[in-house]
Amino acid sequence: MRLSAPVYHLKRKARLLSRQQNIPLHAALDRIAAGEGFQGWSLLAARTRTAVPVSELYSRLSSGDLVLIGARPGHGKTLMSLRLAVEAMKSGNRSVFFTLEDTEKVVLDRFPAIGADHAEFADLFEFDNSDAISADYIVDRLGQASRGTLAVVDFLQLLDQKREKPELMIQVQTLKAFARARGVIVVFISQIDRSYDPALKPVPDLSDVRLPNPLDLSLFDKMVFLNNGQVQFKAAS
């Protein structure tokens, strides 16, 4: 699909729309994407950026890893998590997508954007958007999961949004202990702080992760950061 203008022009148009109509930038980006024939900005971006060598990224993950995927809205963090889930399923492993953000239709509609057919993996892919999602809930759901199962948590900053749920630090520690004991891979989608300036560094890093509540980021074993089609992978030292 041919765009009406280069991506950077469309982003500029979205920023202007955001200011004029006093709406969040991610909402403005989605409106611009809709005008170009896409269901959302992440789908538009996925069609216009260089293919990410996800198979290589997946090969660097190990059973028991806690993985963080961070990016600003519209830069492909959800698509990256689904790509990793597909790689896991290609290897015969189960993938579970836990989300406090999206509907099942929204998530399944993203499979074509990453060149995957959900029907091919229907027996290995599970979706869960229960309001009860928390570390304890995930541990319970994955209690019998086989080694190599990949779970996506969408997204990190929503886990402790409800007061009755444990603090974020406690939840991540719980999931780390579980992942290590069970041999599953837990991938957290994470927001990046609005203060991140791509003019200062092309890709965000751990210092840019938005933390409304305390969290020891050293709990994560692997990190993937995205911005404008660039991908940066880091392993904990």
Regions in the chain scoring below 70 on pLDDT: 1-2, 6, 46-52
Domain count, the chain: 2
The domain in which residue 217 lies consists of 54-235
CA distance 236 to 217: 10
Q: What is the pLDDT of residue 45?
A: 72
Total Cβ atoms within 10 A of residue 1: 8
pLDDT score for 3: 75
| CATH number of the structural domain spanning residue 201 | 3.40.50.300
In-domain check, residue 29: yes
pLDDT at position 171, please?
98
Q: What pLDDT score was predicted for residue 20?
A: 93
pLDDT value of position 100: 97
pLDDT reported for residue 4: 82
pLDDT at 7: 74
pLDDT of residue 115: 84
Based on the number of CB atoms within 10 Å of its own CB, is 229 exposed (0-12), middle (13-18) or buried (19 or more)? middle
pLDDT (0 to 100) of residue 23 = 92
In a shared domain, residues 63 and 123:
yes
- Which DSSP helix (H) or strand (E) runs through 67? strand 66-70
Evaluate whether residue 1 is within a structural domain.
no
Predicted confidence at residue 10, as pLDDT, reads 87
